[in-house]
Amino acid sequence: MTNIRRMFATLAIAVLGLAATFAAAEASDRYGTQKAVYHINGTGGAEAKAYLGALRNIQNHLNAVGADNMELRVVLHGNGVGLLAEALANETLQTRVVELKGQGVLFNVCNNTLVGRDIDPETDLFDVWEDDIVPSGVAELAYLQQQGYTYVKP
């Protein structure tokens, strides 16, 4: 990823994080605090429709609960890693990922998938850092559930 792209992503995350703070003040108190993990392992389909739908579900969840009241993770493995691969050329996916990260959502990518499919996260995926990579996507899902995260499969 070029330095300009990283700089843009960082700036966008900061601006969106500030906007999310204001939105959280309006979120309903009904749901209290939550920890959730979204599991994405399918393909995006035509025009990345399934990926965009999953990201919309995550944003709706944040809108309802408030980013300040949530710990939210997205675990990508298998075909789900395609979300960040397609985001390299899809500005809508890029924007949605950056917006969610700006609200504190962490995206975790399965190292088993990266190795098994010979994917270089620095060049083949959008905005993936070393800290985003977990040893195993499915093991991470189980681990997060043990830590009290609610499992969501969009």
pLDDT (tens digit, 0 to 9) for every residue of the chain, 154 residues total?
A: 565 665 566 565 555 555 554 544 555 578 999 999 999 999 999 999 999 999 999 999 999 999 999 999 999 999 999 999 999 999 999 999 999 999 999 999 999 999 999 999 999 999 999 999 999 999 999 999 999 999 999 9
55: domain range? 3-152
Q: What is the number of alpha carbons within 13 Å of residue 121 lying toward its C-beta? A: 21
Q: For residues 115 and 144, give the distance between their C-alpha atoms in angstroms, rounded to a whole number.
A: 22
Q: Taking Cα atoms as reference points, which of 65, 87, 72, 99 lies closest to residue 154?
A: 72
Can you name the residues that pair with 75 across neighbouring β-strands? 39, 108
Sign of the torsion angle spanned by Cα atoms 6, 79, 134, 112: negative
Return the DSSP state at 149.
Answer: P
Domain count, the chain: 1
Q: Which residue has the tokens 């979300």?
A: 83
Q: Residues 102, 20: contact at Cβ < 8 Å?
A: yes
Return the DSSP state at 33.
Answer: S
pTM for the predicted model, two decimal places = 0.83
